[in-house]
Structure 1
Amino acid sequence: MNLFEEAQRIPLPDHHLDFPDLARLETELINAVGGWEAFEEKLRGFFRSAIDEVIDTARTGRFFFSDLEKTEKTYLGTKFEIILRDWLDVPRGIKFDLLVGGEEVDVKTSTSAQKGGWMIPPEAFNQLCILIKVNERDALCDFGLVRARQEYLRAGANRDAKTGLSAEGRKNIWWMAERFAYTPNFWSLTNSDDRNAIMQGGGTQRIATLFERFQEVAISRVQIEGVAAQDDFMKRIRRNSGARDILAPKGIAILYSENDADLMRQLGLKFGKREFLSYTAKNEGEAALLRASNHID
């Protein structure tokens, strides 16, 4: 089950007023994250891990974005900023959210289903901004760059003097990824029978059932914790009495992006940062790779 396509990158034309600044910012971001392949892998897991941490299935019993309170959805913007700084490994600026290549950059996020949705405060007018948009229903995201020039903004403002990009102004966004398929909420791919089956038995059996039923589906570390419902959930996956001992004799491997990224790429799998994925070899060559790495018996 391949849920992903390549990121659609739409840069501005090289004669555009903002081309030099945004081209330089894109280069700084790609270098910071470790290249385009790393950017796409991290972007797939970026939204999933942030949203799943706020849903917090293990403690709240909730499964979906729609279960969140309004204040939690608002907090997600801050969560995205924190995780973005972490995976770019850049510091916070003095005035704005990030310091990238010696220049301050503000981060604007939106979970609105409508176009745009980013609110730009007066202090960010004419400044470099990263625009992040997430559509959890369809598991699609946008990641763009813009210099928020006043001529790109709507004339009206809210009570805080914030405003958004006009329809014409949005034509000045440099898209590093538009309508990019990130890792969907695993639970949205299940039905009630699946959920009931998965949540039977102890933590190890639950994880084994999950990975046997849903192969080649990337699943976040936070969601695994929710299924195991135990503090030592990682132990429930490993060899030595974990789910791998149940599935390896069946030829099903449990792969983890932080340990098995190279192998997962060899198998042509798409995944995000800190995500698990189960896989059955399609041929003897793949089986040999999995056996050599002690993932199957």
Structure 2
Amino acid sequence: MLEGFFSDERAPDPALNEVRDEILRLDPDGSRWAAVIRHTYDMIYNGQETGRYRWDQLMKTEKTHFGTLFEINAQREFGFDGGDETDYRIAGHQVDAKWSQSMGGWMLPPEVFDELALVATGDDAQSRWSLGLIRATAGVRRVGHNRDKKSQLNELGRQRVEWIWRDAELRPNVLLQLPRHVVDHIFDHRHGTERTNRLFRAAEGMLVHRNAVATVSRQLDAQKRVRYNGGARSALQPEGYIILSGMYHRELAVEFGVPVPNADEYVSLRIVPSDRGVRLGVRSWRRAQLADAGGTPAPKIRE
């Protein structure tokens, strides 16, 4: 039968519904799956050792390995049982995890034919990810196979993916949010301490994950490069900057109207004295605007 000549009638699939319901029971808002994907990107970049932060810097073998890491990290996060020939058993049903960096590019091996496939994709530059389910029947697979007898979804199959999350928000990679020439300038210094200072200047008002700090500093004690006593907080304080952490300064982030960092994130902001604003020390402060001149050192905040 030629590809595309399949009935568009969708047969009921109770097993798919049960797997979907179990996934949603374990993670109602998708935050745990989003964390798995964020962690997998950061693992494959290995920024602290390599200084890499984007997909096109990876070798072909590393890109291929992403799917394996995604499968392993998801199993660790959710504790799925192993399947007989598939990756998992979820709600008692065989499920195989498939990742593709491009939408619809999932490669389906013979062991997943007629079984449920958990298909996922993401775009780190756009801070988006998607995850859905489909039963890999003959009607939704391409007729042709590659040398490993793997197939892909045909057009009907791509339409029939039941998305649990589609284009959901991924925690941003700040090094992909900044202009490339700015990031190149950040890395264009021999010392990790100065690279870290440049990061927090450039990313003012943006969430900066610990992994970004490690990638820029390229040092084992990367988080020390943020603190006072020689870190970015000390270096940028005379310029009017404070660096808020999700561990201690979430309320300050709310008061200043900047993104609220999680426990493993920071946000830097430049502040200036103000008659009305956030009370820090003996005076009030507000977030600086482009037209505001510098010159007043920022107060020291709790670490």
Q: TM-score, normalised by structure 1?
A: 0.72
- Residues 240-262 of structure 1 deviation map (CA, whole Å, 9 limit, x = unaligned): 65434556784634334xx4798
The equivalent residue for 2:180 is 191
Number of aligned residues: 269
SS for the counterpart of 1:66 is: helix
The equivalent residue for 1:236 is 225
Which residue of 58, 77, 80 maps to 1:90?
80
SS for the counterpart of 1:187 is: helix
Q: What one-letter code is carried by the residue in structure 1 that aligns with 2:185?
A: N
Aligned runs of 1:61-140 on 2, under 5 Å?
61-112=51-102, 115-140=103-128
Moved over 6 A (4+): 264-268, 285-288
CA RMSD for the aligned pairs? 3.8
- Residues 181-237 of structure 1 deviation map (CA, whole Å, 9 limit, x = unaligned): 424543332333443246547544433432232134334433321212111112333
Which residue of 214, 218, 237 maps to 1:225?
214
SS for the counterpart of 1:130 is: strand
The equivalent residue for 1:31 is 25
User: % of aligned pairs identical?
Assistant: 27
Structure 2 residue 151 is the aligned partner of structure 1 residue 163? yes
Indicate the structure (1 or 2) with the bigger Cα radius of gyration. 2
More helix by share: 1
The Cα shift of 1:134 comes to 2.5
| Cα distance between partner residues in 1 of 2:165 and 2:225 | 36
- Residues 235-292 of structure 1 deviation map (CA, whole Å, 9 limit, x = unaligned): 3334665434556784634334xx47986996784778x852305499957989xxxx
Structure 2 residue 31 is the aligned partner of structure 1 residue 40? yes
The equivalent residue for 2:167 is 179
- Residues 116-161 of structure 1 deviation map (CA, whole Å, 9 limit, x = unaligned): 1111122112212210122345443321111222222222222222
> What 5-or-longer segments of structure 1 have no aligned partner?
1-14, 289-294
Mean Cα deviation higher: 222-231 or 235-244? 235-244
> What 5-or-longer segments of structure 2 have no aligned partner?
1-8, 282-299
